Structure 1
Amino acid sequence: MSWLFGMNQRPQDFSQFVPPASAAGGGGGGSDDGEGSNKGPSSMEAYRFDSAALERAAKAAKDLEKSAFAKEALELSKMQEDTKQKEILARAKEMEVQIEAAKADGKRIEQEERRKTLQEQSKLDQQKSQYQDQLARKRYEDQLAQQQRMNEENLRRQEESVAKQEALRKATIEHELEQRHKYDMKKLDAEMGARAKMERENQDLTLEQIRVRAAEDRETTLKSMVERRETILASIKTAGSAIGTGIDTFLSEPAKIQAAVAGLVALTAGYYAAKGSLGILFRFMEARLAKPSLVRETSRISLFDAVRHPVQSAKKLNRKPEDVLEGIILNPNVEERVRDIAIATKNTKFNKGMYRNILLHGPPGTGKTLFAKKLAMHSGMDYAVMTGGDIALLGKESVGAIHKVFDWAVTSRKGLVLFIDEAEGFLRKRHENISEELRMAISAFLYRTGTQTDKFMMVLASNTPEVLDFAVVDRVHEPVEFPLPTKLERERLVRQYFEKYILLPAAEGKRRLKVAEFDYIKACTKVADMTEGMSGREITNLALDWQMTTYASREGTFTEAIMLKRAEAAVEHRKHKVSWRSSHELMKTAFSASVVAAAKGSSSAPPMKPERVS
């Protein structure tokens, strides 16, 4: 135990076991050369083991064991050692707490830095996206501007080309008209010269023939006059004697005179009474039982139609209200407007209010007629379709026909949507050069539509609303324009009719039609891009052309090639139609100018008398 006590002493207590430098040096002695006193002990001497120190330590341990306080000293040293170990553990725990706190602070700082980094990164990403968006918008605007410049340039070139072509055509037409006029004048001069020459050569013979004919006519006339005079005188004498005898007999009996007068009065009264009553009865039956001749199509069921077409009449009876835009694809703004009109019309019918008149104008084939029918079905009303061209052909009977239509319209129990297609056919401006019958027809129409009514609603449709009479436009409460479909509407139309005329027949399997595998959506988008400027009717005709071409093919399979090829053909056909229309307008203008010039020339020239040629 003495050695343990010695090992547990503090470091300064072990100094007694270390030999002093002098002792170490003394033990070392000097050297042969006598330099040890000056340089000190050598390195080997410094690390030489000193057994005396261990001996002293062992002696001290033995003395301590023999002492009475050896056990207390050992316990004291253990307590000191435990205390030191506890202090070291406490310090270690403090150091661990500090280390954990430092780690927590480091994590918190790291999280804060990471959050700041993420915020900065999100700001940078947002700025980057905004910058990219600005670049994309600028690029798109530049593309739009470039496309607009190209379109303007192409339009200018097309206008110049069309102007040159029109000028060339106009010059050609004017030249042809001039040559034709010269040819006609030369022909007329030749004919007149030949006639004059023939008359000069046959003048004597002609005069002799005239004299002979005049003498013969004079003799024949005198004979016939004498005979006619004698016959007339004899007839007058015979008739006078018979009338005189009858009057004498009639006047001699007053009862016959009274009976004759009463019979004549009764006959006259019966004739006029029968005529008036039959006219009223006929108009009543015509207004309620028969459809007017001007009405081309109607949903009303008359007695005659029910007898002639019982199946169609039954279908009309079972008709249910439909959505006003079912099967109709329009611009979103136009769709919203016509839906408001349909809702207002339906509520007007429900509340028994006064109907409003509507004017639908726009290019042909944009859905005006279909909307008028859907409007009537949506509102639960009847509809009737008539055209302005039919009225222009009636002449003097147009006024009566218009009154019959309106008399028939006011008898509808559900209310009637009267749709007048091609309204510019007879509702033109009255100060233009129109016939008197058409002017009277317009006046009758204006008289019957002068006030609002709860019996019928008038829907006019016109491709050129600017030619309508001002009084007609004044009776319109709301005009609605049906423009040509844009790319979005064309794509919807192509998909709708592709499904109706291609996919549905192929899915039914009842017809000889199959559809190849290709991307329908992309193909419909391509067709919508190709058919710019086409109307809904033209797109419908294109879908029917797809179906007909597929039926005519050997395999009976509809492919993407057929779809795009027929679309290109439809686009080319439309270009031809546009050129035909411009040529027709040019020819019409040239013809009008030639007519005016001819009228001016004929008015300045003296009238020519026809001459007889023998």
Structure 2
Amino acid sequence: MATNDQLKALVMSHAEGDDSQFYSVAMQVAAKAARSGQQKFAQDLRDMVDGLRKRTPANTHIASVVPVSRPRGELASLVSVSYPAARLSDLVLSDDVEHKLHQVVLEQRQRDVLALYGLRPAKKLLLVGPPGTGKTTTASVIAGELGLPLLAIRLDAVITKFMGETAAKLRIIFDALSDTRGVYLFDEVDALASDRGASNDIGEIRRVLNSFLQFLDADESDSVVVAATNHPQLLDGAVFRRFDSVVHFPLPDGAHARAIIQNRLSLLRHSSISWERVIQATQGMSHAEIAVASDSAAKQTVLAGRTQVRTADLVSALDDRRALYVGPGQRH
């Protein structure tokens, strides 16, 4: 049988004329019926949907976009909403990370096809890596690729000193996952799912963690949940099992550092740069820090009335960024 959320989604998509969403939910109902042993009903429903699809013109309307543009009630204080236009091609990623993200986007785009075989697309991603390696930007890119709103969770508004209030706010967010399809970003998720052992707070932390895990387990929406952390060692071991994919974002190697710099300097001449010196200066730096240093060198070039970026200016800008750190990921 259909879940309450699926029944609500069927009614809403029908009311808003969103045939694509209506058929997608119907196929989810068929898949659930098949897993429950109701093979004849599941097959009849699949055949019905296939027949209707052939008779009905494709509708690309995204039903959820209108209500989410102005979150109401308490939800408005818990999330910030944007509509990113970023694409995967805008990022400089390792081959492994790029492959995993392409796979997630493909599965989401083909979720109707997967539903025909009782399969569901990957929808819960845990992004792990040092600061500035592109985790938050990746959530924007996934939203952009799928044409969905990005809803960034304001953890400072969610987490309170009263566990009951925190759980209630989490419930509001996870209810929104079902009501409005989107990409929901829990940045610095270790604040919710930490296994830190502060002796006077450990009971409270455990209760918040359990609530978060329960909501993740119960989520059967079509939304995408993206959680990001700079400190995976602080996460409770149970958290990793709740995600379909754990994506590790490394610091850029020499080839990726060069690609980042070339992207940032694309409007200026940089053919005479000594890449060996520059790449050596990028060692241990994040994507974001390299991009900031590249922009700094570009501005210096433009304001000096030149069109050719000099190696010395670029290396100096990289060294200046490095001077802000006392060690990897450690600021003064």
Q: Distance in 2 between matches of 1:524 and 1:395?
A: 54
What is the aligned partner in structure 2 of residue 428 from structure 1? Answer: 194
| Equivalent of 1:451 in 206, 209, 218 | 218
What is the aligned partner in structure 1 of residue 312 from structure 2? Answer: 564
Residues 538 and 576 of structure 1: CA distance in aligned 2, closer, same or farther (over 3 Å): closer
CA displacement 1:233-280 (0-9 Å, x = unmatched): xxxxxxxxxxxxxxxxxxxxxxxxxxxxxxxxxxxxxxxxxxxxxxxx
Q: Distance in 2 between matches of 1:540 and 1:349?
A: 39
Contact 2:108 2:121 in 1 (8 A): no
| Aligned pairs for 1:39-78 within 5 A | none
Q: Distance in 1 between matches of 2:160 and 2:297?
A: 38
In the alignment, structure 1 residue 293 sits paired with structure 2 residue 81: no
Q: Distance in 2 between matches of 1:488 and 1:580?
A: 20
- 1:430, CA displacement in angstroms? 6.6
- 1:482, CA displacement in angstroms? 0.7
2:77 is paired with a residue whose SS is coil
Residues 532 and 354 of structure 1: CA distance in aligned 2, closer, same or farther (over 3 Å): closer
What is the aligned partner in structure 1 of residue 172 from structure 2? Answer: 404
Residues 547 and 521 of structure 1: CA distance in aligned 2, closer, same or farther (over 3 Å): closer
- 1:395, CA displacement in angstroms? 4.2
Q: Distance in 2 between matches of 1:333 and 1:580?
A: 23
Contact 1:358 1:478 in 2 (8 A): yes
In the alignment, structure 1 residue 346 sits paired with structure 2 residue 109: yes
Q: Distance in 2 between matches of 1:430 and 1:386?
A: 21
2:127 is paired with a residue whose SS is strand
| Aligned pairs for 1:451-530 within 5 A | 451-499=218-266, 503=267, 520=271, 522-523=273-274, 526-530=277-281
Contact 1:298 1:385 in 2 (8 A): yes
CA displacement 1:196-221 (0-9 Å, x = unmatched): xxxxxxxxxxxxxxxxxxxxxxxxxx
Contact 1:446 1:472 in 2 (8 A): yes
Q: Which amino acid aligns with 1:428?
A: S
Contact 1:359 1:479 in 2 (8 A): yes
Higher helix share: 1
In the alignment, structure 1 residue 577 sits paired with structure 2 residue 328: no
Q: Distance in 2 between matches of 1:532 and 1:363?
A: 14
Residues 417 and 532 of structure 1: CA distance in aligned 2, closer, same or farther (over 3 Å): same
Residues 548 and 362 of structure 1: CA distance in aligned 2, closer, same or farther (over 3 Å): same
1:429 is paired with a residue whose SS is coil
Tell me the percent identity. 23
Contact 2:128 2:229 in 1 (8 A): yes
Higher strand share: 2
Q: Distance in 1 between matches of 2:198 and 2:238?
A: 14
CA displacement 1:331-378 (0-9 Å, x = unmatched): 123212221122122222675646531111011111111111111221
Contact 2:152 2:184 in 1 (8 A): yes
- 1:388, CA displacement in angstroms? 4.2
Residues 579 and 379 of structure 1: CA distance in aligned 2, closer, same or farther (over 3 Å): closer
TM-score (norm 1): 0.38
Q: Which amino acid aligns with 1:536?
A: H
Contact 1:292 1:408 in 2 (8 A): no
Q: Distance in 2 between matches of 1:418 and 1:350?
A: 23
Q: Which amino acid aligns with 1:458?
A: V
What is the aligned partner in structure 1 of residue 50 from structure 2? Answer: none
Gaps of 5+ in 1: 1-283, 300-315, 504-514, 585-614
1:330 is paired with a residue whose SS is coil
CA displacement 1:282-326 (0-9 Å, x = unmatched): xx99x964543221x323xxxxxxxxxxxxxxxx5xx87x64x12
What is the aligned partner in structure 2 of residue 326 from structure 1? Answer: 89
Contact 1:494 1:524 in 2 (8 A): no
Q: Which amino acid aligns with 1:403?
A: R
1:404 is paired with a residue whose SS is helix
- 1:579, CA displacement in angstroms? 4.2
What is the aligned partner in structure 2 of residue 532 from structure 1? Answer: 283
Contact 1:530 1:567 in 2 (8 A): yes
Q: Which amino acid aligns with 2:289?
A: E
Residues 430 and 471 of structure 1: CA distance in aligned 2, closer, same or farther (over 3 Å): farther
What is the aligned partner in structure 2 of residue 207 from structure 1? Answer: none
Q: Which amino acid aligns with 2:244?
A: H
1:492 is paired with a residue whose SS is helix
- 1:577, CA displacement in angstroms? 0.5
The higher-RCO structure (CA 8 Å, 6+ apart) is 2
| Equivalent of 2:132 in 365, 369, 389 | 365
- 1:519, CA displacement in angstroms? 5.1
Q: Which amino acid aligns with 1:341?
A: V
Q: Distance in 1 between matches of 2:156 and 2:148?
A: 25
- 1:569, CA displacement in angstroms? 4.2
Number of matched pairs: 258
TM-score (norm 2): 0.66
Q: Distance in 2 between matches of 1:374 and 1:405?
A: 21
| Equivalent of 1:419 in 180, 185, 191 | 185
Q: Distance in 2 between matches of 1:460 and 1:572?
A: 31
Residues 527 and 384 of structure 1: CA distance in aligned 2, closer, same or farther (over 3 Å): same
Supply the RMSD in Å over aligned alpha carbons.
3.3
Q: Distance in 2 between matches of 1:581 and 1:535?
A: 9
Contact 1:362 1:483 in 2 (8 A): yes
Residues 469 and 387 of structure 1: CA distance in aligned 2, closer, same or farther (over 3 Å): farther
Q: Distance in 1 between matches of 2:327 and 2:244?
A: 36
Q: Which amino acid aligns with 1:405?
A: I
Residues 382 and 569 of structure 1: CA distance in aligned 2, closer, same or farther (over 3 Å): closer
Q: Distance in 2 between matches of 1:372 and 1:582?
A: 24
What is the aligned partner in structure 2 of residue 335 from structure 1? Answer: 98
2:98 is paired with a residue whose SS is helix
Q: Which amino acid aligns with 2:172?
A: K
